[in-house]
Amino acid sequence: MERTFAVIRKDPHNQARTGQLRTAHGVIETPIFMPVGTQATVKCMTPDELHELKAQIILANTYHLVIRPGTDLIAKAGGLHKFMNWDGPILTDSGGYQVFSLAKLRKISPEGVEFQSHVDGATLFLGPRESMAAQRVLGSDIVMAFDECPHWPCDREYACSSLELTLQWAARCREQQLCDGQLLFGIVQGSVFPDLRERSARELVAMNFEGYAIGGVSVGEPPPEMMRQVEMTVPFLPQDRPRYVMGVGTPPQMLEMAARGVDMFDCTLPSRVARNGTIFTARGTYAIKNSKYREDFEPLEEGCECYACRNFTRAYVRHLYRTSEILGLRLMTWHNLHMYLETMRRARETIAAGIFEEFRREFAATYTEGIEVDETV
């Protein structure tokens, strides 16, 4: 197998590392946050704006794109990159998590999952063969194996049967034909059980995937449990392949997981909460609708260099939000994505300088979730 990932620098105090992941559409510097563009768009943002934010890679979702607009249409457009006019790397989720979280009346078999679409109730089928075929048509740079995501909490019996399916499906995904240059990542499952996590990781590593994701986290479990599942998995993943925690998380969580050797993160949080008027800063979050910002003519975050903070004030963004102006959603999304991407840039910088541990501790010490009471007038 051609080498696609290289570790560049390791932190002397923990397991954090910088790396480079080569894809068909460019080199990704890790650790990295990946903005989520579920339906072939990062909500509120254009591709040019994502480039301005220095986003290196974005996500799209197989489940949603199979339902709408369909892979036939995307194939006619020349693939997902051309369809959405994004020339950088794309990672596509397999659809397994969405079948778990969105689909109605799903029926699981060794071949895959029969389910009803959450959009129109139509009966659909998605399994390892179908997911790989769809992602081949999409032409994504990183393809995720089709897995079965257990709910939380779940008992050991269900976790065992779920893992059996995930491993069987991973082997079938590995057998499927992909396009030249597409990288296939396996997904470690096993719920909260250390021996199942170890088995999952070991068997997937034996299948020789180009990267490995830690799945089944951020599905309702408390944050300490989420961190424990990462800690019980990373030791069994190879040093020379990228590690990806799916669907996580807040900025402090990403830094904590980077310290445990994780390279890649994605989360809908920065764009989703922006649409509810929540602003991320290096000190925590706040609600722009609060009355205290009515006459606040400072930027969304002091010292931030994003477009929104260079050009607009809290008072103006609050006005846009309260009058339901689309520009307000765009500016808040722009800032939140910048904050996430900047946090990861600083992580790379401090790992390279050998001072990541100091940065991580200082960040955690000054960051507070929900740093104020929501008072709207």
Q: Which positions are catalytic?
A: 93, 266
Measured between alpha carbons, how far is residue 38 from residues 8, 59, 62, 235, 287 in Å? Answer: 31, 6, 8, 30, 25
Buried b (16+ CB within 10 A) or exposed e, 104-127: eeeebeeebbbbebeeeeeebebb
Cβ–Cβ < 8 Å for 223, 152:
no
Pairing of strands 142-144, 90-93: parallel
Quickly count: other Cβ atoms within 10 Å of residue 76's Cβ.
10
Residue 375: other Cβ atoms inside 10 A: 10
Cβ–Cβ < 8 Å for 320, 327: yes
Alpha carbon distance 133, 283 (integer Å): 44
Cα-Cα end-to-end distance for the chain: 60
Residues 6+ apart with CB under 8 A from 276: none
Query: What residues have CB less than 8 Å from 209, skipping those under 6 apart?
Result: 145, 170, 174, 184, 185, 186, 241
Burial class (CB in 10 A: 0-12, 13-18, 19+), 173: buried
Rounded Cα distance between 277 and 273, Å, is 6
What whole-number distance in Å separates Cα of residue 211 and Cα of residue 209?
5
